Amino acid sequence: MIREALIKDIYRIVEIESEWGDYFKWKKEGFLKEFEKEFSKTFVYDDGIIKGFINIWNLDVIEINTLVVSKKFIRNGIGNSLLNYIIKLANKKIITLEVNEKNTNAISLYLKNGFKIYGKRKNYYGSSDALLMRREDV
């Protein structure tokens, strides 16, 4: 169900991204640039239709750049599945991310999966702060 994204998946990824009005969009061009980076990986939740995606940078730590689930499929465990796929892939590497302080559903998902808040970026999302989160498997 979770697999590495292919170039042909970009149209569906961008479609899912556009469902959410309140967050910065990478758009087609941004995802195409990510496909060019060796350390950047995008994974999709695909059970016949792509319902969500996650992009990471696999460096000395794993950085989650974006995790988005289609509004039509929210609250079906897709975000949790994508996140847990990355946790297993990380194989004890530290995982970091930033999240809008107003995105309480995402914050709850991350806390439930062992992430801790370790900092804040003031006004990173306009008038909202970004919470810096990390998960360490030691």
The alpha-helical segments, DSSP class H, found in the chain are 10-18, 27-36, 78-90, 104-112
Domain ranges of the chain: 2-135
Cβ–Cβ under 8 Å, residues 23 and 56: no
Identify the pLDDT of residue 67.
96
Identify the pLDDT of residue 123.
92
- The sign of the torsion formed by the CA atoms of 136, 3, 8, 14 equals negative
Q: What own/partner pairs with CB < 8 Å and gap ≥ 24 does 126-129 have? A: 128/100, 128/101, 128/102, 129/100, 129/101
d(CA 51, CA 47): 8
d(CA 56, CA 67): 9
What CATH architecture does domain 2-135 belong to?
Answer: 3-Layer(aba) Sandwich (3.40)
Identify the pLDDT of residue 23.
67
d(CA 111, CA 128): 19
Structure-token pair, residue 90: 């990380």
Q: Per residue of the chain (138 residues), what is the pLDDT tens digit?
A: 999 999 999 999 999 999 987 767 788 999 999 999 999 999 999 999 999 999 999 999 999 999 999 999 999 999 999 999 999 999 989 999 999 999 999 999 999 999 999 999 999 888 999 999 999 975
Q: Which residues contact 103 (CB under 8 A, 6 or more apart)?
A: none
